[in-house]
Chains A and B, each alone.
Chain A
Amino acid sequence: MATVARPEAIRRIHRLERIWEERPGVLGWLTTTDHKRIGILYLFTSLAFFAAGGTEALLVRTQLITPNGNTLSPAAFNTTMTMHGVTMIFLFVIPISTGAFGNYLLPLMIGARDMAYPRLNAFSYWVFLGSGLFMYVGVVTGNGPNAGWFDYVPLASRTFNPGSAIDFYALGLIFNSISSTAAAINFIVTIFKLRAPGMSLNRMPLFCYAFLAVSFALVFALPALSVDCLFLELDRRLGFNFFNVGHGGNVLLWQHLFWIFGHPEVYIIILPAFGIATSIIPTFTRRRMVAFPMVALAEILVAFIGFGVWAHHMFAVGLSTITTIYFAAASMIVVIPSAIQLFAWLTTLVTGKPTFKTPLLWIIGFIVFFIIGGLSGIMFAAIPFDQQLTDTYFVVAHFHFIIFGAAVFPLLGGLYYWFPKVTGRMYNERLGQASFWVTALGSALTFFPMHIVGLLGMPRRVYTYPSNVGWAPYNLSETIGSYILAGGLVLMVVTLVWAYFRGPAAGPNPFGGATLEWSIPSPPPEYNFAVIPTISSAYPMWDPEDREHDVDKLNRGEMVLEQGHETPASTVLDGYFDEVLDMPSNSPWPVITALMITGIFAMILTGHLVAMAVFGVLFALSVMGWHSVEPQEA
């Protein structure tokens, strides 16, 4: 670089280091409001839940390896299968994509020094942790949710499911959605308000568009789930009649409300993967994404259309013909934004100069699995086909291609891609590629035979099957595949752990990435950016003159904002510089408040209403404590 940092610039950096220094030790982690530390907490917590959900998957597959298997009892199978779904969706994919990737990377990509609400961000994490542990307390005490991840009534009603298994499910999900809602609002405001001056909406990376779409979908979809679970709890605990047909209730209400949440949820799971794909593809093809505005709009359109297709999960329950036809047609529309993105990725790959390093390999795998899973998805929009194959393994095959192959592959590719940024170390390329091939092979071997066994009529969620129906060889292949898949993931863990301790230094931008997180040292300093960067395109690292301008600004002391925990706020559309915000630093209140909420839910579950009221008062007090010190007094 032509311009070098002068001594006064170094002094400014030291000053920022002092101001943004994090409290050390365990207390520092408990009270942190740094989006990077919270991202790390989210990452390790969600990976722990991934391990739990993966173990459950292996147990299910081990049970089904031969006909008439007896690894698990029928009851244990139900709990294991249910918790596999609940864990993977609510405790792994959403937290790792929004919580870990979004939290860590979003502020870095938009040139901000923190999230819009740093303490709310910490609060989201602690509530997420509380809700995950809450549900697993149910499993450990023998009350694990056991009616499938979509928990249909009347199976989940008190009559057919006494005990507290379903209460752990319903309360746990209401609890969990507090965390996701808070996180979603935080992301939207961060994206709208904290972009570095100059980053108008059309210069925002596509990754951020994906997270914007996800966050809006969460804001509008989660209440349906919470209300549904509330109805279920009122029915179970207080004898209300929402789902009690004998007293004017309706069991289909559960399904409608669940899928009004559940289908947007599918796109909530997949959109972060799209965002990661649009980050990795340009880096490894050395070119900008094809059809940038179309891809941005398609990302948002997917989230929007996702709200109008829910009843395609209910084609077999006997809705009116006109309803099913409408939802079939609406479901077909989803093809359009999906295809726009797919062709944009492919065209970028074909017209660029791709180098097939580990992260790009995962994205290629993602594209292949997304096409296959997408095609089997379109089949389900044909109503007779759906009615024939609903609740068979064909459905299981379809959605595992989508939510494992298409949604999780990019997350794993993203782990490799941003690993050097987060740790400052480089992983071994060969081991990385090997872990991809093993995992991809294992996935294909696990999930592809499910199509066939589904067509042969094997229903999902059965704990075993007889030997005379011809399903055994496929199930054997699936189980072997699942162990290979797990082996690939273990290899990945080994690669990354080894790289963390022994890997060579990575430097700030090992892949020549285009977005702002690559402009700062690896691992990033607490204040993220020594100077709020200048931005004139969505690929700021490929504008070298802007980066030189940053050094000039640092030398002049312009946009360094070194009077406190400061970050600039911009206007929503144009990204004009609007004001300087003073961000909160370490605070004990988020974790305390989350603890009180955990207490409230635990007391509702155990039926101690007085203790619940006490926790309610303590919750109100901790919210007051949170707001007792105003920013200007801090």
Chain B
Amino acid sequence: MSEVTRSMEATSGPTAARVARRRVAMPNGVWGVLLFIATEAALFGTLFATYWYFRFNSPHWPPQGVEDPKVALPLILTGILVSTTIPVFFAGRAARAGNARLAWILFFVALLIQGGYFGVQVHEFLSDLSKFPPNETAYASIYFTLLGAHHAHVVVGMLLELWVLGKLLGGITNYRLIGVRVATYYWYFVNLLAIGVVFTQIYPSL
């Protein structure tokens, strides 16, 4: 039974990497986050469907009295958020290679950019709320619900990153390596969503 992989014995970068290489199937933690993403995707699918359902049942979009949304700023912000895919991706690679320090720095960079993005978005959200509040139109209702749902996911992603940053300070283990993968996959998903969300956001102006 020397071939048995006891993954929990992997408590350093190189051994964790060796366990990950020898493992054939995806670890349970990764399966878990993929299924969680699947259910989240269904949730956003429902929100998007609602948006288009309203749009195709409305003669005016946006409804009369609501000005057309901005195009440039949301696109730029989304571009910035999506660009954090790059540090997140390389952070995951660095962690797999056993380089906890580099992974930490890259996650930190990503977190800073995402934090800045989130700050500007909250400001925009509040200023939009005063312009066309959701208790006036169905358009505003789904607009703010979609954006709010996405912002909430950005917050969850940042909390995940914070947790990973804390864990990586103590080096890499099999457990933390799976945690890093969970955080990176979650961010790929949030960034992908951002593209769909910004499209609904700017669509009335196109």
Chain A positions within 8 Å of B, measured between CB atoms, are: 116-117, 181, 184-185, 188-189, 192-193, 219-224, 226-228, 230-231, 234-235, 238-242, 244, 247-250, 253, 256-257, 260, 558, 563, 566, 569-572, 576-582, 620, 624, 627, 630-632
Would B46 and A193 count as touching, CB distance under 8 A?
Answer: no
Alpha-carbon separation in the docked complex, A570 to B25 (Å): 7
Would B50 and A242 count as touching, CB distance under 8 A?
Answer: yes
Would A185 and B39 count as touching, CB distance under 8 A?
Answer: yes
Alpha-carbon separation in the docked complex, A64 to B49 (Å): 41
Would B25 and A572 count as touching, CB distance under 8 A?
Answer: yes
Q: Which of A189, A242, A256, A627 contacts B142 (CB 8 A)?
A: A242
Question: In the complex, which range does the number of interface residues on chain B fall in?
Answer: 35 or more
Would A242 and B141 count as touching, CB distance under 8 A?
Answer: yes
Alpha-carbon separation in the docked complex, A230 to B152 (Å): 14
Would A240 and B46 count as touching, CB distance under 8 A?
Answer: no
Contact mask for chain B residues 152-184; partner A; CB cutoff 8 A; 1 contact, 0 none: 000000010001000000000111100000000
Would B163 and A247 count as touching, CB distance under 8 A?
Answer: no
B contact residues around A231 at 8 Å (CB):
50, 141, 145
Would A240 and B141 count as touching, CB distance under 8 A?
Answer: yes
Given A571-B24, A630-B175: A240 touches B6 (CB 8 Å cut-off): no
Would B39 and A189 count as touching, CB distance under 8 A?
Answer: no
Alpha-carbon separation in the docked complex, A101 to B47 (Å): 33
Would A219 and B5 count as touching, CB distance under 8 A?
Answer: no
B contact residues around A624 at 8 Å (CB):
163
Given A257-B50, A569-B25: A250 touches B138 (CB 8 Å cut-off): yes
Given A117-B32, A250-B54: A227 touches B46 (CB 8 Å cut-off): yes
Would B53 and A571 count as touching, CB distance under 8 A?
Answer: no
A contact residues around B185 at 8 Å (CB):
none
Would A253 and B7 count as touching, CB distance under 8 A?
Answer: no
B contact residues around A181 at 8 Å (CB):
39
B contact residues around A223 at 8 Å (CB):
39-40, 42-43, 45-46
Would B58 and A248 count as touching, CB distance under 8 A?
Answer: yes
A contact residues around B19 at 8 Å (CB):
579
Would B50 and A224 count as touching, CB distance under 8 A?
Answer: no
Would B53 and A224 count as touching, CB distance under 8 A?
Answer: no
Interface locus among B67-75, B78-86, B88-96, B129-137:
B129-137
Alpha-carbon separation in the docked complex, A577 to B23 (Å): 10
A contact residues around B63 at 8 Å (CB):
248
Q: Give 28 A-B contacts (CB < 8 Å), ordered by A residue.
A: A116-B28, A117-B32, A185-B39, A192-B31, A219-B35, A220-B38, A223-B39, A223-B45, A226-B43, A227-B43, A227-B50, A231-B141, A240-B135, A240-B141, A241-B140, A248-B58, A248-B138, A249-B54, A250-B54, A570-B25, A571-B25, A576-B24, A579-B4, A579-B22, A580-B5, A580-B6, A581-B7, A581-B8
